[in-house]
Structure 1
Amino acid sequence: MFLFSGRGYWQELLESIVWAHNKLKVAPATQPRALSIIQGRVIGVTHYLQVELPQHGHSSKQELLQ
């Protein structure tokens, strides 16, 4: 549950969120499902495009200006 097992990061993260919702009774009880390989790749690419790419691009521009 704390992102340390051998399973994928995103699967662990989703299961942790579902566990917290079930524990706190925030949402109706749901059962986590495994991500398909395609779903995992889509999440990874989306994260890269929205978070990693802008950060690396921003730091590169600053280095060029100095």
Structure 2
Amino acid sequence: MFLFSGRGYWQELIESIVWAHNKLKVAPATQPRALSIIQGRVVGITHYLLAELPQYGHSS
């Protein structure tokens, strides 16, 4: 639960968030759900673009 295992950072992070929600009764019905390969790629490119545009989106 502390992001030390070899199972993958994102899986550990999501499971930690779900555990905290369940422990605090914030959203007891929330369960982790795997993304398809396409969904994962869309999330990745979205994060990449959102990080790139503020840094390099302006003209010099």
TM-score, normalised to structure 1's length? 0.59
SS at match of 1:59: coil
Q: CA deviation at 1:38?
A: 1.0
Structure 1 segment 17-36 matched on structure 2, within 5 A: 17-36=17-36
State how many pairs are aligned: 60
Unmatched segments (≥5 aa) in structure 1: 61-66
| Shift of residue 34, structure 1, vs aligned partner | 1.3
Paired-residue identity, % = 90
Distance 1:25 1:46, change over 3 A: same
Structure 1 residue 16: Cα displacement: 2.3
Distance 1:15 1:32 in 2: 7
Tell whether the 8 Å contact from 1:2 to 1:12 is kept in structure 2 after alignment.
yes
Give the distance between the partners of 1:59 and 1:8, measured in 2 at CA.
37
Two-structure CA RMSD over aligned residues (Å):
2.7
Which of these two proteins has the greater Rg computed from alpha carbons?
1
Structure 2: stretches of 5+ with no match in the other structure: none
**Using a 3 Å threshold, how does the CA distance of structure 1 residues 7 and 44 change in structure 2: closer, same or farther?**
farther
Alpha-carbon contact 1:3-1:13 (below 8 Å) kept: yes
Paired residue secondary structure (1:5) = coil
Query: Aligned-pair distance for 1:33?
Result: 1.5
